Structure 1
Amino acid sequence: MQLDNNMRSKEDYLKALKDGRKVYYRGKLVEDITSHPILRIAALHAAKLYEYQDRLYEDSKLGKISKFFKVPKSPQDLLDRHKLIYDLTLYCNGIFNISQAIGSDALFALMITARQVDKKYGTDYYKRVEKYFEEVAKQDLTLATAQTDVKGDRSKRPSEQVDPDMYVRIVDVRSDGIVVKGAKAHTTQSAVSDEIIVIPTRAMRENDKDYAIAFAIPTNTQGLKMYTRPIDEIEGNTSAILSKKDYELETLTVFDNVFIPWDRVFLFKEYDHAGTLAMLFATYHRFTALSYRAATINLFLGSSRLISKLNGIENEKHVRDDIVDIILYKEILRSTAIAAAVNPVFLEEIALPNPIFTNVGKLYSNMHFHDVVKDLIDIAGGIIATMPSEEDLKSEEGSTIIKYLRGAVSGEERVKGLKLVKELAASPITGYLLTGMIHAEGSIEASKIELFRSYNYNEAENLIKKILE
């Protein structure tokens, strides 16, 4: 399928990033993120969305728009979304492209929540969400979602913090909108997104109502500042291959008295719905996680197969066991995503991925990714941690080093594979991936809480009652 000439292009997207947004990297304000030697890679990664051929569909109301903005109304819609995320991740060399995925996850959750709040309080949030959704879809914008507050003292609720800015909060209410202050942590691709959607991170009580807010703003909004994490996977590994092609950045996203007009406010002190919105977004986003992680694991599966052959051990039993372990991880994620899509829950006529299957898969993903890394290390051997540097390999002594790095193939061929395996299993990106796979899209504890809370125990409990009667 060819992209419509009237749709947004890669060049349009990159040009739009030059809008005066406040992005800081290693203590310096970045004037133009598209020309920054490190951060531009994240922008080019996001831009691949606009090069992906099979990303558009014809909406009966909005015309030709991104498939990410197709509101799921059936199991097939969720299956199609799973495939879109999986395939786009492969297109981006196994690195998730969050550019429209996470924002649409938030929009679907907002649509459901807005209708529920409107029914209870007579508000008009759904009209606001729908208007914003149509604007975003028609303009083909990229979206970041800021959910996780910095939280401060985790033993205290938002309203109990010593510093009240530990959760994003309302500090002023005006006739034309509200003013907010606070910060959100690890906001993925915020610095290279057109818009940022902000939603609550947890359930709120009446005392927390000033923190029960949801809204959307352009990324260049006055008072918004983004402090980008150090990209150690490139700067800390001169032999990096994958990260020089694709990676996603995160920021500490600070709201320093940021003004939000009313038409972009989607929750305003309705504290009793903050938890619902947080949970609905998490369910969509964990379904997204299952879809992209199943694709990402191909990096580890493919690398394991390659390095086993380069080392001449592809037929050894322990290698087979390690590779089967990686296959198991990948296919459990994909299976639970499919099961969640086929058995959705319908809320306000919108299909929500089955929360049980979604959280089972996500919890397995959280708890067992380190096994995948272990398997790759086991097959590759310790050389990935101790091999000489890229500078050594390119020096006058390089030929001597390469001579002694041969395996079942020449040193030159084996070194190419070792560089990629080192990047995945023994470099700064390994720590980044380990942390992300445990905490991104919800921590182990978050998935456990939701699974324990939402699981239907009737079948099991009734069986025991029948036996004991």
Structure 2
Amino acid sequence: MKIISVGTPPQGDLRDWPIAAERYNPQGFVIFEDVFVPNDRVFLDGETQMAGAFAHSLGLWLRASSLAQACENVDALVGLAQLMAEANGLDKVPHVREKITDMAMHATLVRATYEASLATGQVQPNGAVLPNELYANAGKYLMAEQRALMMRHLLDIAGGSALTVPSNADFDNPEIGDLLRKYMAGKDGIDGMLRSKLFHAVRDATVSAFGGYENISLLQGGGGLHAQRVVTRSRYDFDKARRLARKLARLDEQ
């Protein structure tokens, strides 16, 4: 067996990369070539009828864990957007407020579906609790499908300085440090270094090697978007929906 490391190593100065500099996500491309697996480590041995259930269970847990991971992540993105808007003096601008409201609505619905998947989970005969598949899959889809829009809102609020912000080493340079603090400052006495830190955090959370890794991970964890649509449709109670519709339309009345 060979494992090729394909993870994203820690990146740069902690002051410039507040997230990526200390977070490492190990990933491996694993090659099984003429590998002996002891019998006590074999999960399935010819039980082809269980293959679907095995894969399905893995998908459920991966989607539920991605949804759990996203809850705090999307709240942090909302916080970054709000802090960035305040630092840029834009927090009272209507279209900026609307973008942050979109992000807050998204974060609230992501957490609501995650908590619903746990609150309505099923206890299995072995004592394990499985998250509710309908809510876990619908929530995972909602989170992943809207993620690019949340990134766009955050970057739009931050502006181009998220890309062109000088490094902290530049601020330390005695020849230009004071000038950077002066011209990076915002309105109403907003400190230039504070704005710089926010720009670095926004860039790190969205377009750094770590930010890119996290975006792909949250999108593809447990399978792509179509997989969640398939499971959501298969678990949705269409019979109940039909009964309610028939009652609403009085189809069964004489």
Distance in 2 (CA, whole Å) between partners of 1:352 and 1:450 is: 15
Task: Tell me the residue number matched to 1:377.
Answer: 155
Aligned residue number for residue 367 of structure 1 = 145
Task: Give the alignment's Cα RMSD to 1 decimal.
Answer: 2.5
Q: CA deviation at 1:426?
A: 3.7
1:258 aligns to what SS in structure 2?
coil
1:334 counterpart = 2:102? no
- Mapped to 2, the partners of 1:230 and 1:290 lie a distance apart of 21
Q: Which residue of 2 aligns with 1:284?
A: 61
**In 2 relative to 1, CA 399–228 (structure 1 residues): closer, same or farther, beyond 3 Å?**
farther
Matched, 1:264 2:41: yes
- Kept in 1, the 8 Å contact 2:10–2:22? The answer is no
2:235 pairs with 1:458 = no
When normalised by structure 1's length, the TM-score is: 0.48
Asked whether the equivalents of residues 66 and 218 of structure 2 are also in contact (C-alpha less than 8 Å), the reply is no
Task: Give the structure with the higher percent helix.
Answer: 2
Contact residue 6 and residue 27 of structure 2 kept, 8 A: yes
User: Taking structure 2 as the reference length, what is the TM-score of the superposition?
Assistant: 0.85
Q: Does 1:316 align with 2:89?
A: no
In structure 1, the residue matched to 2:199 is: 418
Contact 2:59–2:222, Cα closer than 8 Å, also in 1: yes
RCO comparison, higher one (Cα < 8 Å, 6+): 2
List runs of 5+ in structure 2 lacking aligned partners. none
User: 1:231 Cα shift?
Assistant: 2.2
Which amino acid counterpart does residue 280 of structure 1 have in structure 2? S
Q: CA deviation at 1:243?
A: 1.3
- SS of residue matched to 1:312: coil
The answer to whether 1:301 aligns with 2:78 is: yes
Mapping of 1:4-403 within 5 angstroms?
A: 223=1, 225-229=2-6, 231=8, 234=11, 239-349=16-126, 350-389=128-167, 392-395=170-173, 396-403=175-182
Deviations 1:395-421 (A, max 9, x none): 443443343221131222221221111
Unaligned ranges ≥5, structure 1: 1-222
Q: How many residues align?
A: 246
- Secondary structure at 1:253 match in 2: strand
Q: Who is 1:429 aligned against?
A: 210
Q: Is the 8 A contact 2:8 2:213 kept in 1?
A: no
1:438 aligns with 2:219: yes
Alpha-carbon distance, 1:321 to partner: 1.7
Letter in 1 for 2:52: G
Q: Deviations over 1:247-304 (max 9, x none)?
A: 3221112223222111111211212211111112222232222222101223212211
Whether contact under 8 Å (1:237, 1:427) holds in the other structure is: no
Match of 2:183 among 404, 408, 423: 404
Query: How far, CA to CA, are the matches of 1:458 and 1:321 in structure 2?
Result: 38
| C-alpha spacing 1:273/1:235, structure 2 compared with 1 (3 Å) | farther
1:104-128 deviations in whole A, cap 9, x for unaligned? xxxxxxxxxxxxxxxxxxxxxxxxx
Supply the distance in 1 between the matched residues of 2:118 and 2:220 (Cα, whole angstroms): 23
| CA distance in 1 between partners of 2:56 and 2:7 (Å) | 30
* Offset of residue 375 of structure 1: 1.8
Offset, 1:347: 3.5
Identity fraction in percent: 26
User: Quick one: which amino acid aligns to residue 435 of structure 1?
Assistant: I
Contact 2:60/2:133, CA 8 A, preserved across alignment? yes
SS of aligned partner of 1:227: strand
Q: Could you say which structure has the higher strand fraction?
A: 1
